[in-house]
């Protein structure tokens, strides 16, 4: 069992500064070089283009202090910790599962990471479907951005500035040690505690309840940044922003908007903003630093605008607010902005199951913009949601040929194949997806469905167990493995795999129980 005396890596790195702590110690983690992920073009600007006269990024060298025993957490342990943290989040808050949104946020994040001072560091970016304004970084390079923060941004560079700041927290090793007693926690418990602390920034009552459920004895688990850490993350993040050809001035601009927003909350200021204020000093510092870069225009990518439109529709429970928002923009702004409003209205019609209306909107958009994948994906989705599965399969198949690198299309195509009893083809397509897409719980769910349709119950239960485990539901994962073991005709290889996974899941669950 991993006993992280440097558990200390457990953190919820927030966008804003926490009160400075006395006698802080840092854990510096060394990583072997890994290939830098290649960002795609959804972010709108070339990832490898040099910034205009951007200052060179220089990593801040910090001392290797470690913990009291002099040990450091290894890259493998950090990876394991990050994965456990991500699973815990799935069990407590709503992580976006929409492949288009995921592909976009990954494209922005990987572009920034590739231009950071540690391009070899692995990162995984995701969207939390919460209206609160928040962004955070966890162990292992897991960086989350709330949908509410994305909707608050008014430019793609503002979103990139937040993500660049969080990337800097990771690359500069702002990973704080918790109380010495926290070293007794296992990875599942530490990850659960970390997720609970994050929940405290989303919902204080929910976070406190989760922490109380996980705490062992008098163990306390605290995560804070110093003001120096925040200044460093702002400075390094801005360098990454400029190197990625985003607007450095977007950072202070967004900080100012956040500061102004707090004035309208009254007593209902979110816990996150109440305990981590954006100070005038911080705005002034970032403004002065941004002014050292040459001024130029930084147009938003269409991918940013369309992703925001989709998030707005998904976030509106009754679509009334989204409808009012897009209707008011159908005749205002640039041609591109009016087009995005039309797309938003089409998504609203699709959400309301007004399939003919949605089809009309998307058909017109495709006619005007045949090379824009989002409109064609929405049209194919209209057929899928309307249960016209043969038409959906036909549309998605054509899209996989037109946009062969689009993973969102691949996932929807697989879903449509399963609806038309083409499970073997669906399974083959699933197994060919890239590792980033195989991180999504949806991947395991679709794979389980494919094997179920192929009348292979043991394999179906096996992969459904992986789905539940990815969602942070270890007990359900154990149940699925046991169901798989009861299946007839198990061969030696599959039986061995099931036994190993049952042992693994059981140990994970027992470790978590021991620390409650």
Distance (Å, whole) CA 133 – CA 148: 5
Return the closest-CA partner of residue 106 out of 43, 181, 33, 12.
43
Residue 127: strand pairing partners: 145
256 carries an active-site annotation: no
Of the candidates 297, 289, 256, the one whose C-alpha atom is nearest the C-alpha of residue 54 is 289
| E strand or H helix that includes residue 199 | helix 187-202
Rounded Cα distance between 210 and 197, Å, is 8
DSSP summary character for residue 136: E
- Helix, coil or strand: residue 478: helix
Q: Which helix (H) or strand (E) is 393 found in, with range?
A: helix 389-402
Q: Pairing between strand 135-137 and 13-14?
A: antiparallel
Q: How far is CA 132 from CA 110, 135, 145, 273, in A?
A: 24, 10, 10, 10
What are φ and ψ of residue 163, in 5° steps?
-70, -35
Question: Residue 32's pLDDT is what?
Answer: 34
Give the C-alpha separation, 460 to 449, whole Å. 7
Q: Are 271 and 134 in contact (CB under 8 A)?
A: no
d(CA 237, CA 232): 8
Going from the C-alpha of 15 to that of each of 78, 102, 276, 420, the distances in angstroms are 21, 21, 8, 46
Q: Which of 78, 117, 166, 511 is catalytic?
A: 166
pLDDT tens per residue across all 516 residues of the chain: 333 332 323 333 344 333 333 333 333 333 333 333 333 445 544 444 444 444 444 443 333 333 333 345 678 888 888 888 899 898 888 999 999 999 999 999 999 999 999 999 999 999 999 998 888 888 889 999 999 999 999 999 999 999 999 999 888 877 543 333 344 455 565 666 555 555 554 444 444 444 444 444 434 444 445 677 788 889 999 999 999 999 999 999 999 988 887 776 665 665 445 545 677 888 999 999 999 999 999 999 999 999 999 999 999 988 999 999 999 999 999 999 999 999 999 999 999 999 999 999 999 999 999 999 999 999 999 999 999 999 999 999 999 999 999 999 999 999 999 999 999 999 999 999 988 888 789 999 999 999 999 999 999 999 999 999 999 999 999 999 999 999 999 999 999 999 999 999 999 888 877 765
CA triple 339-382-376, angle to 5 deg: 50
Q: What is the biggest distance separating any 2 CA atoms in the chain, rounded to whole angstroms? A: 70
Report pLDDT for 514: 74
| Measured distance between the N- and C-terminal CA atoms of the chain, rounded to whole angstroms | 16
Q: Quick one: which of 141, 14, 137 has its CA closest to 75?
A: 141
Q: Residue 291: how many CB atoms within 10 A of its CB? A: 12
> Which member of 234, 407, 459, 466 is catalytic?
234
Are the beta carbons of 187 and 507 closer than 8 angstroms?
no
Is 166 in the active site?
yes
SS3 423: helix
Asked whether the beta carbons of 243 and 195 are under 8 A apart, the reply is no
Q: What is the pLDDT of residue 435?
A: 86
Residue 37 CB coordination number (10 Å): 20
Which neighbouring-strand residues pair with 142? 124
For residue 436, count other CB atoms closer than 10 A to its CB: 15
**Domains of the chain, earliest start first:** 8-290 (no CATH), 305-514 (1.25.40.10)
Is 189 in contact with 6 (CB distance < 8 Å)? Answer: no
How far apart (Å, rounded) are the C-alpha atoms in residues 52 and 405?
30
H-only helix segments in 20-155: 75-92, 99-114, 147-152
Nearest CA to 429 among 397, 458, 387, 461? 397
Tokens of 312: 């707005």
Instruction: Check if the beta carbon of residue 125 is closer than 8 Å to that of residue 108.
Output: yes
Q: Sheet containing 13-14: which strands, arranged edge to edge?
A: 13-14, 135-137, 142-146, 124-128
**Residue 194 has what pLDDT?**
58
């Amino acid at each position: 069992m991993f006993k992280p005396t440097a558990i200390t890596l457990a953190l919820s790195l927030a966008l804003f500064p926490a009160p400075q702590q006395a006698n802080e110690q840092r854990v510096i983690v060394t990583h072997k070089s890994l290939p830098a992920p290649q960002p795609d073009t959804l972010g709108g600007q070339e990832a490898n283009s040099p910034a205009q006269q951007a200052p060179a990024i220089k990593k801040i060298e910090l001392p290797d202090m470690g913990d009291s025993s002099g040990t450091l957490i290894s890259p493998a342990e950090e990876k394991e910790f990050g994965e456990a943290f991500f699973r815990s989040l799935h069990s407590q808050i709503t992580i976006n599962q929409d492949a288009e949104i995921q592909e976009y946020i990954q494209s922005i994040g990987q572009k920034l990471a590739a231009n950071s001072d540690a391009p070899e560091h692995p990162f995984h970016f995701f969207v939390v479907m919460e209206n609160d304004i928040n962004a955070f970084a966890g162990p292992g390079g897991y960086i989350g951005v709330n949908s509410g923060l994305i909707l608050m941004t008014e430019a793609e560079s503002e979103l990139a500035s937040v993500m660049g700041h969080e990337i800097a927290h990771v690359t500069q090793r702002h990973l704080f040690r918790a109380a010495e007693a926290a070293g007794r926690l296992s990875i599942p418990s530490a990850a659960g505690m970390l997720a609970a602390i994050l929940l405290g920034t989303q919902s204080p009552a929910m976070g406190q309840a989760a922490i109380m459920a996980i705490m062992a004895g008098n163990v306390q688990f605290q995560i804070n940044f110093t003001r120096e850490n925040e200044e460093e993350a702002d400075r390094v993040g801005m360098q990454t922003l400029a190197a990625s050809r985003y607007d450095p001035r977007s950072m202070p601009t967004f900080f100012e908007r956040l500061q102004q927003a707090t004035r309208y909350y009254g007593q209902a200021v979110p816990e996150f903003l109440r305990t981590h204020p954006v100070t005038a000093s911080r705005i002034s510092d970032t403004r002065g630093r941004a002014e050292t870069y040459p001024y130029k225009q930084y147009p938003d990518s269409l991918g940013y605008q369309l992703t925001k439109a989709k998030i707005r529709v998904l976030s509106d429970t009754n679509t009334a607010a989204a409808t009012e928002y897009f209707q008011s923009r159908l005749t205002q702004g640039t041609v591109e902005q009016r087009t995005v409003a039309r797309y938003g209205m089409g998504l609203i019609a699709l959400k309301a199951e007004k399939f003919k209306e949605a089809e009309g909107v998307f058909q017109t958009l495709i006619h005007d913009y045949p090379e824009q994948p989002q409109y064609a994906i929405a049209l194919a989705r209209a057929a899928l949601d309307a249960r016209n599965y043969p038409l959906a399969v036909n549309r998605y198949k054509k899209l996989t040929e037109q946009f062969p690198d689009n993973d969102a299309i691949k996932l929807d195509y697989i879903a449509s194949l399963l609806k038309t009893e083409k499970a073997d083809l669906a399974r083959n397509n699933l197994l060919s997806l890239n590792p980033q897409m195989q991180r999504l719980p949806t991947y395991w769910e679709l794979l389980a469905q494919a094997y179920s349709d192929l009348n292979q119950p043991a394999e179906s239960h096996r992969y459904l167990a992986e789905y539940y485990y990815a969602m942070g539901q270890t007990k359900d994962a154990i149940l699925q493995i046991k169901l798989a073991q009861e299946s007839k005709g198990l061969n030696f290889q599959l039986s061995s795999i099931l036994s190993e996974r049952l042992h693994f899941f059981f140990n994970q669950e027992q470790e978590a129980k021991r620390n409650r």
